[in-house]
Amino acid sequence: MRFSTFAFPAALALLCGCGRTEPLVPRSEAGKPDGSLDVCEVEIAPESIDFGDVPLGTQVTETLGLRNVSRARCDVLRLVIGDGSDPGFSLLFPPSTPFGLEPGETRHVTVAFDAQSRELPRERLGTVVVLSTALDGLRTVPLRAKILIGCDLLIAPEVMDFGSVRLNKSATASVLLSNRGDAPCQISGLALTPDSDRLFSVAPDQLTTFSVPGGGTAPLKGAFSARDSTEPHERTGALAFTRSQPSGLPPTPTEQLEVPMKALIDTACLDGSQWIYTVDQLGRFATFNPEKLEYVDIGDLGCPAEPYATPYSMAVDQNAVAWVEYTDLGIYRVETKTASCSASGFKPNPQISNFGMGFVYDPDTGKDTLFVAGGEYFGDIPSTLASISFPSLSINPVAELAFGAPELTGTGDGELWGFAPSFNSASGVTTLARIDPVTGQVLASREYPEIFEGGQSYALAFWGGSFWLFLGDSVYEVKRNTLQARQVLNYTGRHIVGVGVSTCAPLE
């Protein structure tokens, strides 16, 4: 053991407040034959204490030795942890001061460090102060310890905020996981909490099990799909995961953590714009519930059309307003809540005067466009694809449609589809086709030879991931992901000529 030696100081006189009154007598003037003095000398060992790495929540100790190496009595007047030292340092059961050290005597003192704080900095410093009657009696012993905290995870920001997301668009957001500790943080079991809104999800490229190294960072990513226009428009959820650390490292308790998520759906949709509305040859205006496969009558249309004119086609916008074309070639405005009808000011185009109708929403621009498909006479093939501008209600031809004279529907994610029954299809076979709204080209199609009914009433709607084909008094469902058809209703007593569903309808 190495000792530090110091001797009796003039500081003793200062400690007692009396000062020095006589000059220090040189050793050469001492009365001993060898010229030495009997003065107090104390050695301290070790000269400094480094506790090293101390795991959080543990206490470590070291022994400090004070040894009188002189032939004179030494008195230790003060033995304390120095001012400004980290509060984790302490003396365990220190002897009461002052106390004496006879020649050759050693007194041991236990110095402790408690690693209880996980705050920065990790390296903690302090001193032990010893004041004695030795020559350089005021001495300090430096102390050092570094707290090992294991995994110490910080999440910033505290909330994963997607901001405002336009209807039927998807967005991703992230928070940053920062490990301020000295051991890896193991992240596992990443998933949505059970009470999270169904529109949230874990981002497709986000691992559900991964590690954040000590001193490192890693993003935590979520996804949001604004595919539902119903209120509330502000949606909330949370990502939950388990945080732990590998075995054999300083203990960090396993913890379940959550990151709250929030998003706002940016939509112009009004209440009631999510439903399917129908009108039959008699002018009965109703809703059709695709989940219950039921009609609910709202009222009979009393539009100011010419005598004997009847409904021909229909579309519904995001404001839950129905636009109904009659056989007098006029378009009329219908309030979907009451079925009240008024003139719109529409001026027919003789070349595109009998048409199917459907709104298409562009999530990139947030705009709805009303598309129509028809010709001068009922069933003209090829027909003409056109759009109608608002508020002027002018018709703008787009392109020729070769596959038939279809009814139209749009989807909230920007697709335009047409349904041409066998009697209005170029092939003579009932056809459902996806149409390019810019060129009129058929992008995908499916023929249904098994779907054949006489008559001239037909309509089309998209709702909840399926196309709903109204033909005669029957209804068929066609899943968009498979394009397989099944009959869900027949003999309804309703010959539907117009179906309107806005682009606010659910995509799934």
Task: Output 143 or 19, whichever has higher pLDDT.
Answer: 143
pLDDT at residue 26 greater than cutoff 50: no
Which H or E run contains 160?
A: strand 160-166
Is residue 441 within 8 A of residue 418, CB to CB? The reply is no
Alpha-carbon separation of residue 453 from 137, 228, 449, 472 (angstroms): 112, 34, 11, 7
Residue 9 neighbours by CB distance under 10 Å:
19
Print the SS3 string covering 187-238: EEEEEECCCCCCCEEECCCCCCCEEECCCCEEEEEEEEECCCCCCCCEEEEE
Task: Pick left, alpha or beta for residue 182 (phi over 0 → left; psi -120 to 50 → alpha; otherwise beta).
Answer: alpha
Read off the pLDDT of each residue in 27-44 and give the average, rounded to a whole number.
60
Q: Which amino acid, one-letter code, is at 255? A: E
CA geometry: angle 74, 76, 81, nearest 5 deg: 150
> What average pLDDT does the structure give for the chain?
89
Residue 13: the pLDDT is 35
pLDDT at residue 27 greater than cutoff 60: no
Residue 35: the pLDDT is 44
pLDDT at residue 453 greater than cutoff 60: yes
pLDDT at residue 16 greater than cutoff 60: no
Asked if the bond preceding 121 is cis, omega within 30° of 0, the reply is yes
Task: Output 35 or 361, whichever has higher pLDDT.
Answer: 361
Residue 30: the pLDDT is 34
Q: Which of 153, 119, 121 is nearest to 253 (CA)?
A: 153
Is residue 130 within 8 A of residue 95, CB to CB? The reply is no
Residue 419: the pLDDT is 94
Read off the pLDDT of each residue in 23-30 and give the average, rounded to a whole number.
33
Is residue 425 within 8 A of residue 448, CB to CB? The reply is no
Residue 454: the pLDDT is 66
CA distance 97 to 99: 5
pLDDT at residue 298 greater than cutoff 90: yes
pLDDT at residue 406 greater than cutoff 80: yes
CA distance 140 to 160: 51
Q: How confident is the model at residue 31 (pLDDT cuts 50, 70, 90)?
A: very low
| Residue 493 token pair | 């007593």
Residue 413: the pLDDT is 87
CA distance 131 to 471: 104
Is residue 113 within 8 A of residue 89, CB to CB? The reply is yes
Q: How confident is the model at residue 364 (pLDDT cuts 50, 70, 90)?
A: confident
Asked if the bond preceding 98 is cis, omega within 30° of 0, the reply is yes
Give the global pTM: 0.65
Percent of the chain with pLDDT over 70: 92
Read off the pLDDT of each residue in 168-195 and give the average, rounded to a whole number.
94
Q: Which of 264, 256, 171 is nearest to 221 (CA)?
A: 171
Q: Name, in order, each residue with C-beta under 8 angstroms of 341's C-beta and a sequence gap of 6 or more.
A: 301, 302, 303, 304, 324, 332, 333, 334, 335
To which residue do tokens 């920065």 refer? 120
Is residue 369 within 8 A of residue 396, CB to CB? The reply is no
Task: Output 124 or 269, whichever has higher pLDDT.
Answer: 124
- Check the CA dihedral 364-443-273-466 and report its sign: negative
Q: How confident is the model at residue 349 (pLDDT cuts 50, 70, 90)?
A: confident
Residue 399: the pLDDT is 94
Residue 461 neighbours by CB distance under 10 Å:
30
Residue 159: the pLDDT is 97
272: exposed, middle or buried (Cβ count in 10 Å: 0-12, 13-18, 19+):
middle
Which H or E run contains 16?
A: helix 11-16
* 3-state SS class at 90: strand
Read off the pLDDT of each residue in 78-105 and give the average, rounded to a whole number.
95
Task: Output 364 or 124, whichever has higher pLDDT.
Answer: 124
**pLDDT digits over 189-232, tens only?**
999 999 999 999 999 999 999 999 999 999 999 999 998 888 88
pLDDT at residue 500 greater than cutoff 70: yes
Residue 33: the pLDDT is 44
Read off the pLDDT of each residue in 249-273 and give the average, rounded to a whole number.
87
**pLDDT digits over 463-473, tens only?**
999 999 999 89
Q: What is the DSSP letter of 82?
A: P
pLDDT at residue 28 greater than cutoff 80: no
